[in-house]
Amino acid sequence: MTCGLTGGARSRVPPEVFGRSVVARLLSAAHQTGPSSSRKGALSVASHRRPSPPTHRAAVLSAAAATAAVALGTTPAGADPGDSPRSARAAVDRLFADAERATERYNEAGERVARLRTAVARARDGVARGQERVNRMRQALGAVAMAQYRSGSMDPTLDLLFSADPESYLAGAEMLERLGERQHSVLHDLRHLQRELRQTRVEAVRDLAELERGRRDLARNKRVVERKLAAARTLLNSLSAPERDAYDRASRSGRTELPDLPGAVPASGRAGVALRAAQGALGRPYIWGATGPAGFDCSGLVQWSYAQAGVALPRTSQAQRFAGRPVPLSQAQPGDLITYRADASHIGLYAGNGRVLHAPYPGAAVRYDPVGMMPITAVTRV
C-alpha cells in the first residue's frame, strides 16, 4: 500500500507551519505573466533561495501547479488560490492517501489474480484428467460392444437349444449379462462425467475472463498510484528546505487524542517475534506494493513481520484489521496491529511507549512514529 502520512482532511496542521498555501502560491505564480510577476511568484515560494532565471522559475511553478492540480482534481486555469488546499501538507497528504487507497485496490487485485491463476490451473488440470477418463470409458464401452457383436445375433433360446455344450453356453451368457450390466454402469458414469466436464470448462472460461479483468484492474490501479505519487513528489520538490523540514516534523507529530497507554511491556510469543522482525527492518525503504525483505509498503511490512513468526496474514490492511481479536487502544500491547483511517488504508505494529512501527510513505523508510499520528480505526491482537 502507498502508505500516506495522515488522515487527509482530518489532520490538523498549524497554519504557521507553512503560512499561505504552497499549492495556492504555485497556482497563483504559474498564471501570472511577464518576467516581473514570475520573479515575484518565485520569491514568494522561497525568498531565501538564490534567484533563478524568471522564465525557468515560472516554468517550474507552472509544471508543479499543473501536476498537483490535475492529481487533486482541480483546474489550474482561472483557479482562485483561496480554493486550493490550505497547506502543502494537506495537499501532499491527500495525494498520498489517494495513492494509498489505489495501492490497496492494487494489492487486493493482485491477491484476486493469484487466486484466479490457481483456479484456472486447477480447472485446466480437471478438464485434462476428466477427458482422459472419458476416453477410457469410451474404450471400455467399445470393448463391451465388440464382445456383444462377436457373440452373434441369434436368439438366446435357440443358442442354448443348439449348443453342443449347454453348460459352457450358460457360463458365457452369464458373462455377457454381466458385461451388459457393466456397460450400463459405464454409460451412466460416462454421461455424468461428461456433464461435469462441461461444467468445469464453463467455470474455466469464467475464471479466465475474471483473471483478465483482474489484470486490467492491476494495471489501472498501478497507473493511478504512479500518477498520485508523481504529483506528490512534484509538490514536495517545490518546497524549500525549511518547508520540507517543517513538513517532516509535522508528519511525525501526534495529532489524535489518546487514552493513557500502558508502559512498555516486553513483546512475547508470536507478536514478539513479529515485532522483532519489523525492528530488524528499520531503515529499509518504502516501496509501494512490496512485501519485503528489501522494501515494504505498510501492509507488506505487517504481513512479512508476522510471516517470520509463522503466521500467515492477508495481504491488505483492510483484511489484516480482522485477522485477530479487537482490543481497546488503552490495552494495546507490543505487536498488536494499529489500523488507521476510516477506510483502514494504513496499518502498523504497536511498539510500546505510545509508538507505532510502520512503513510510512514513498521517500521515507521503516521507522517509529507516535501512535496517534492519524485517526486510529482499530487495534487488533493476532
Catalytic positions:
298, 346, 358
Q: Rounded distance, CA 169 to CA 220, Å?
A: 75
The x, y and z cell numbers of residue 134, run together, are 472419458
Q: How far is CA 61 from CA 78, 232, 239, in A?
A: 15, 14, 11
DSSP labels, 138-177 = HHHHHHHHHHHHHT-SS-HHHHHHH-S-HHHHHHHHHHHH
Integer Rg of the chain from CA: 34
Q: How far is CA 227 from CA 102, 214, 220, 231, 309, in A?
A: 11, 20, 11, 6, 36
Q: Where are the alpha helices (DSSP H) in the chain?
A: 22-30, 35-45, 54-72, 88-150, 156-162, 166-237, 241-251, 269-280, 298-307, 317-320
**337-340 and 346-352 as β-strands: parallel, antiparallel, unpaired?**
antiparallel
